[in-house]
């Protein structure tokens, strides 16, 4: 063991037991400004080949959620026809579930040395880091990508610029119930040892 890599068993325990919480089970309170700053700072500490920071954040506060939901419901209806009550309620409440939603926008672009794929992976690492930071701060979080991640008009409405795309939305709040555990892959099914030939 090196002094430059001290053991942190409590961090490993956290990672071995972490769970996302469904955003529909989140409630107030959420992080205050200092906690949110710490979560965002931790989220930005990810592998980033070339130090490009090929991502940025957009914050959506719960008080803005109703306006956003009304616009998303309108867009969904324009694309799919009249919405039934359940679907309308789903659209109306997408940004009101937790107290804050962090949109992670990938700004990956062609670079002479850094592949776009590596830049996109960095944005994905940001999303997981934000979930973990929120959880480590005593809140619950869920990383979601919904239809509006992939819809050009909706993405622009939510803050994407030209050539950008959402890596996802991190919903943060206080859990109202324990999360359900889900099956995890067996290591024997996903791990091999490389052998030449």
Domain ranges for the chain: 30-175
Q: Does the annotation list 87 as a binding residue? A: no
List 102's β-bridge partners, or say none: 59, 170
**145 assigned binding-site residue:** yes
State pTM to two decimals. 0.95
Q: Identify which of 98, 99, 75 has the alpha carbon closest to the alpha carbon of residue 87.
A: 75
Write out the E strands in 72-184. 100-106, 140-144, 165-175
Kindly state the average pLDDT of the residues 51-69. Answer: 96
Task: Check whether 159 has a pLDDT greater than 80.
Answer: yes
> To which residue do tokens 């889900």 refer?
182
Instruction: For residue 18, say whether it is annotated as part of any ligand binding site.
Output: yes
Measure the CA–CA gap between 54 and 107, rounded to whole angstroms.
5
- Which tens digits make up the pLDDT trace of 64-103? 999 999 999 999 999 999 999 999 999 999 999 889 999 9
Give the pLDDT score at 52: 97
**Candidates 3.40.1160.10, 3.40.109.10, 3.10.180.10, 3.40.605.10; correct CATH number of 30-175?**
3.40.109.10
Does 143 show up as a binding residue in the annotation?
yes
Give mean pLDDT, residues 119-132: 98
pLDDT at 65: 95
Using DSSP's 3-state secondary structure scheme, residue 16 falls into: helix
Checking if the pLDDT of 1 tops 80, the result is: no
Contact 104, 168 (CB under 8 A): yes
144 among annotated binding-site residues = yes
Q: Is 122 annotated as a binding residue?
A: no
Q: Does pLDDT of 3 surpass 90?
A: no
């Amino acid at each position: 063991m090196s002094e430059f890599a001290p053991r942190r068993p409590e961090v490993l325990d956290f990672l071995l037991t972490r769970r996302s919480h469904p955003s529909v089970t989140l409630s107030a309170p959420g992080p205050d400004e200092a906690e949110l700053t710490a979560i965002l700072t931790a989220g930005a500490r990810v592998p980033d080949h070339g130090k490009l920071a090929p991502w940025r954040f957009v914050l959506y506060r719960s008080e803005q959620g109703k306006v956003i939901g009304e616009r998303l419901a309108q867009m969904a209806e324009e694309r799919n026809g009249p919405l039934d009550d359940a679907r309308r309620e789903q659209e109306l409440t997408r940004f009101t579930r937790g107290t804050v939603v962090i949109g992670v926008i990938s700004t990956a672009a062609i670079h002479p040395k850094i592949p776009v794929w590596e830049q996109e992976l960095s944005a994905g690492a940001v999303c997981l880091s934000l979930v973990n930071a929120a959880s480590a701060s005593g809140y619950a979080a869920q990383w979601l990508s919904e239809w509006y991640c992939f819809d050009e008009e909706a993405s622009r409405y939510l803050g994407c610029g030209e050539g950008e795309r959402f890596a996802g939305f991190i919903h943060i709040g206080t859990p109202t119930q324990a999360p359900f555990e889900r099956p995890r892959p067996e290591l024997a099914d996903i791990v091999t040892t490389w052998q030449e030939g």
